[in-house]
A and B are shown apart, each in its own frame.
Chain A
Amino acid sequence: MNRRKFLTILGSAGVASALGTAKVAKAAGGTHTWPYYENSYGVLHDTTRCIGCRRCEEGCNKVNNLPGPDKPFDDLSVLDKPRRMTPNAWTVVNKYELDGKPVFRKLQCFHCNDPACASACFAKCFQKQPDGSVTYDGSQCVGCRYCMVACPFYVPSFEYDDAWDPLVQKCTFCEPRLREGKLPGCVEACPMDALTFGRRSDLIKVARARIKANPDKYADYIYGEWDAGGTAWMVLVPAVPAEHSLAETGHEFRALGLDTHLGNRPMGELTAGALGAVPMIVAFWPVLFGGAYAISKRREAMHKAETETIIRDAREDMANVMDAAVRKIAETQGPGVADTARQAMADALRTREETCANRGHHGEDK
C-alpha cells in the first residue's frame, strides 16, 4: 500500500461516514431538521404525585417478561436504600429527602433527544427512534460499555455475569408496545398519574400549566426540557418554601439525584470538536512531516556536496604542491629522483587518506 492510495481510502472513508451520519439523521426523525422531534413521545414524571408504591417497577417487570425481583414489589423496605437500574430491573423508584419530607423519584432511561450513548457507540447499536424512544440492538453490540461511560444519567447496565451473550440493558420506553398503540408498562401501572404519557411538546405545556397553577408546589423548572440537549422523559420536582430554601439554585433537583450541570447541549457535541480535527490532522500531518523529511534530506545533500568540494579542493592543492616539489627536484637532482619522489609522495598520501577515511567511516553514522 502506498501513501497516496491509503490517503484516498482514508479520505473517502471520511466522506462516506459523513454521508452515513446524514442519512441516519434523516431516518431517525430528523436530527438536523426543524422542528426537532416534532411528534415524538415523552413522559412527564411529577414527583409531587409519586407515592413510591413500586407499581411502575412491577408493570415494567411484567410487560418486559423480566426475571422476578429480589424482594416482592409490595415490599417497600427496599426504598430505604438508594438503588439503581440493573439488567433485570430497567426502572427503580428511589426515596429522597427534601426539606424533611420524603420525595420519590423513578429512575429509568431518559431517552435523550440526541443520546450520548448513541453518539458514543462505535457499532451503531443505539438509535433515537421517531417515536422518541432510544432503542438498543444487542445483535451487533461488542460489549465495550462506552455507552455506559457516556451516559450522563448512569442508565445502561451490563450483564457482567453472562459469559456468552452479555448485553447492555436499559429501559426501552416499551417501544414494541408503543408500536401496538399501548402505553409503556410503568405508565399504565401508575395509580397516581405521576407518569403522564404524551407528545413531548404537549407535556411541556402540561408541565408549565401545572407550575403556573401551583407555583408554591413546584420548582419552576422542567428537568429534561433542555438538560443534556433535552430528554423525552422529564421531571417535575417539588418546591421548597423560600424561607427553608438554601441559597443554591437547583438544590431541589440535586437533592433528588438529578445532575444540574449537564448543560443544554447534547453530550455528543462535546466530542464533535475533537473528531472534527481528525481530517485536519490526516491532511496536514503528512505535509508537515514530509516537509521536515525533505528539509533534513536536502540539508544532508548540501552537507555532502560541500564536503566533496572541500576534499576536491584539498586534493588539487596537494597535487599542485606535489607537482611544484617534483619539478623542483627534477630541476636540481634530475628526472629519475623526481619520479621516485613522486611515487613516494603519492603512496604516503594514499595511506594517509585511507587512515582518515577509515576513521571517518568509523565516526560517521550509517
Chain B
Amino acid sequence: MRNGTTLLLLTAIAVAGAAYLTLGDAGPAPAAAPALASVSDAPSALVIFPVGEKPNPEGVGMKPVAFNHLLHENRVENCESCHHTGDTAACTTCHTLEGRAEGKFVTLAQAMHSPNSARKGQGNTPQSCTSCHAKQLQRPECAGCHSIVKPARSETYCSTCHNVSGLTKGDMVAGIAGSLPDGRNAELAVDTLKTRENPVQLQPADGPYKVFIDEIADQYKASMFAHRRHVASLMERVKDNSLAAAFHNQPTTLCSTCHHYSPLKDTPPKCGSCHSQRINPANPERPQLKAAYHLLCMGCHKGMNVARPLNTSCVTCHKQSEAKPADSAAAKLGGE
C-alpha cells in the first residue's frame, strides 16, 4: 500500500469534480430538459428575434422562436454543425432580416429555412433548421410516412417553432434592435418551453383491431389489414422522438398519411369514397382504388425498409381465390 495515499487523493479529487459538475449543471438548467447535460457554456434556451437594422418602433414582425439550445446541442455532431464559421456567435450577429456583409447577405429567414445550401468547397456547409429537420425525415421510422406525404406548410407548421409566449411590445422592440438583456431573453425562452404542451396522439386502441379490405376482392380474396398492430408499431417507433412529438401537432397527424385529404377526425371516410375502381377522367392524377392501396402499403414498407412481404408476392397479403386460377388458365389456353 505504498501508493494508497495517492490513490485516495485522486479518488477524492474525482468525486469532488463530479459533484461540482453535477451541482453546477443542476443550477441554471431549465426544466425543459433536466436530464441533459450541457457541453458548453451557452444558454440552455434562448429566443431568436427577427433582428433587423431598419427602425421598427412598433415591434412588427414574425413571432420569435424559443430555441431549446440544450436539446439541440445534444442532437448534433458538434457546435460547427450549426455554428458553421466555427465562431459560436449568435445567428443574428451575421444573419439579420436584411442580410449583412458578414453573413454574405444571407438573410435570417434564409439562414433558418433554406431547404438546402450549395455545398462549400472548403469548411462547413451551413445547414438551416428546416434542412436539418428534413434530413431527419429520412430515418427509417419516419420515412414510411414521409416518403409518401410532405408536412403541410400550414399555420400550425410555422407556430410549432414561432411560439414565444408572454412577449411584451417592449421586449419585441428591444429584441429586434438586438438590445434585449440576456436574462430577460432566457426567461422568456424558458417560460415558453416550460408551458408548451405537445398534443396527445390518438391511441391504437381508438382505431379498429382489424380491417378487411374486400371492395375489389376478385382474383384474390379480401386482405386482412392488422390496423391496430400497424398503428401501435408506428407509434412505438416515434414515441421518444421529440421532433416528431413537436411537429405531429394534431391528435390525428399520425393517421393522416393513409387517411389523407379529408378533414382530420377519428372516423375517416373509406378509401373508395374518392378512389374509384376505374380511372376517373375528371381526375386522371388520382390513383385507382387498387393502386391507392398498393401505393400506400408498398410506399410505406419501402420507406421503412420493411423487407417482407415482397412487392410481387401477391398472396402474402391476399389469398388467391379458388375460382379465378382456373379461369385465367382457361384464358391462357384459349389464347394458345
Contacts and interface: CB of A to CB of B under 8 A. Distances in A.
A196 B312 contact: no
A193 B284 contact: no
Contact of B285 (A192, A199, A209): A209
Interface stretch (A60-68, A152-160, A344-352): A60-68
Interface stretch (A27-35, A47-55, A356-364): A47-55
Given A65-B334, A67-B336, A206-B285, A51 B298 contact: yes
Nearest to B336: A68
B331 A62 contact: yes
B133 to A, nearest CB: 15
A202 B298 CA distance: 26
A190 interface: yes
Contacts of A214: 150
Interface in B268-322: 278-279, 281, 284-285, 287-288, 290-292, 294-295, 298, 311-312, 314
Interface in A193-246: 193, 196-199, 202-203, 205-206, 209-210, 213-214, 217
Given A197-B279, A198-B284, A202-B284, A192 B291 contact: yes
B336 A52 contact: no
Counting chain A CB atoms within 10 Å of each CB, the highest count among B147, B284, B328, B334 belongs to B284
Contacts of B278: 183
Given A191-B291, A206-B285, A53 B335 contact: no
B120 interface: no
B49 to A, nearest CB: 32
Nearest to A188: B278
A66 B284 contact: no
B85 to A, nearest CB: 23
A7 interface: no
Nearest to A58: B328
Contacts of A53: 311-312, 314
A159 to B, nearest CB: 17
A76 interface: yes
- B interface, size bucket: 20 to 34
Given A51-B298, A197-B279, A206-B285, A191 B335 contact: no
B208 to A, nearest CB: 24
A196 B335 CA distance: 26
Given A62-B335, A196-B279, A213-B150, A52 B291 contact: no
A193 B312 contact: no
Nearest to A79: B312
B239 interface: no
Contacts of A65: 334-335
Contacts of B298: 51, 192
Contacts of A66: 335
B332 A68 contact: yes
A210 B294 CA distance: 17
Interface in A12-44: none
Given A193-B287, A193-B291, A198 B279 contact: yes
Contacts of B150: 213-214
B334 A192 contact: no
A196 B332 contact: no
Contacts of B311: 51-53
B331 A191 contact: no
B294 A196 contact: no
Contacts of A217: 147
Contacts of B294: 191-192
A190 B332 contact: no
B115 to A, nearest CB: 9
A210 B150 CA distance: 12
Contacts of A210: 285
B315 to A, nearest CB: 10
Contacts of B314: 53
A193 B287 CA distance: 6
A199 B147 CA distance: 28
Contacts of A198: 279, 281, 284
A210 B288 CA distance: 16
Contact of B295 (A61, A76, A192, A199): A192
Contact of A191 (B147, B281, B290): B290
Interface in B138-193: 147, 150
B287 to A, nearest CB: 4
Nearest to B284: A198
Nearest to B334: A65
Interface string A174-198: 0000000001000000111100111
A68 B291 contact: no
Given A67-B335, A76-B312, A202-B284, 15 more contacts: A49-B291, A51-B298, A53-B312, A53-B314, A62-B331, A62-B335, A65-B334, A68-B335, A183-B278, A191-B290, A192-B295, A192-B298, A193-B295, A198-B284, A206-B285
Interface of A: 49, 51-53, 61-62, 65-68, 76, 183, 190-193, 196-199, 202-203, 205-206, 209-210, 213-214, 217
21 contacts: A51-B298, A52-B312, A61-B335, A65-B335, A67-B335, A190-B291, A191-B291, A192-B291, A193-B288, A193-B291, A193-B295, A196-B284, A196-B285, A197-B284, A198-B279, A198-B281, A199-B284, A202-B284, A209-B285, A214-B150, A217-B147
Q: Which 10 A-B pairs have the closest CB atoms?
A: A193-B291, A198-B284, A51-B311, A206-B285, A193-B287, A53-B312, A68-B336, A202-B284, A65-B335, A192-B294
